[in-house]
Amino acid sequence: MASRRAQGAGTNTMAAKRIRKEITDLARENLGDIKLTPNESNIFQWRAVLPGPIGSPYEGGVFEVDVRVPDDYPFSPPQLQFLTKVYHCNIASTGVICLDLLKTAWSPALSLYKVVLSLSSLLTDPNPGDPLVPAIAQEYKRNRKKHDETAREWVKLYALPKSSVAPEPVPQPTRPAVSRGPRGTVSRAGTSSRSATPPRTVTGVRRRDVSGGSGLNNAIDLLSDDDDDVEVLGESSTNGNVAEQPQRRSKRARVASDSAGEAGGSGEVIVVDD
């Protein structure tokens, strides 16, 4: 019993030494898009990621493979199993692989890297003569077109990389269209148009200019500094008297009188009050 334990411990140590050597060699290999990495906490467990070979029905897919290294490695082959579903005559629905390299053709001179390369070649060239799924092998030989269509459909269903899957569109709330009409008017679809506040109306008193100057102008005292429209209401008193007015602001605008050109005409001054 003690002898067997010592032998098992020695074999495990030999396997660990071989695995560490392969890790060092793997760093110098050009894997391309293939990924082969050991578990950080257990070098006897690995994970391989195989891209679907270009030109094969599996192109565009990404296939994950679980790799388990036995304690007596490299005298025994590693155990590989597909984690991604694949429509293949040499790969069962459970992920079990039928590959002679993992059985009778195994040699201690082989490595995990070479096994993974052989697995990638199996996707390109299936072996219907030694199938694990006879129905798929028969379809591969008799109706290759249908076989390839089904394999591509499985790639879309199970093997597309996550970044290639389009996210569900998020519905956006719709906003009513806004149309702008004349100044101060805004209309929205489905709602009645709203008008801006009507212009402010101010009243004033018209009085006759008693300055007697030759240039007869009409003067308008504005009580508002804004540019809103101003409507002048009321008439000047008939007797020429000027009504009492509140204190006005300093802004003043003068408008030329239509009668400025008439000789001896009397000008008018319009004072605008709030």
* Residues carrying an active site annotation: 98
The residue assigned the tokens 């270009």 is 54
Question: What separation in angstroms does the CA of 100 have from each of 83, 85, 246?
Answer: 20, 21, 111
Listed in order, strand segments (DSSP E) in the chain are 35-38, 45-51, 62-68, 79-82, 178-180, 186-188, 203-208, 217-221, 252-256, 268-273
Q: Helix, strand, coil % (nearest 5) of the chain?
A: 25, 20, 55
Token duo for residue 39: 């578990």
Q: Give the pairing type, strands 252-256 and 217-221.
A: antiparallel
Token duo for residue 103: 């059985």
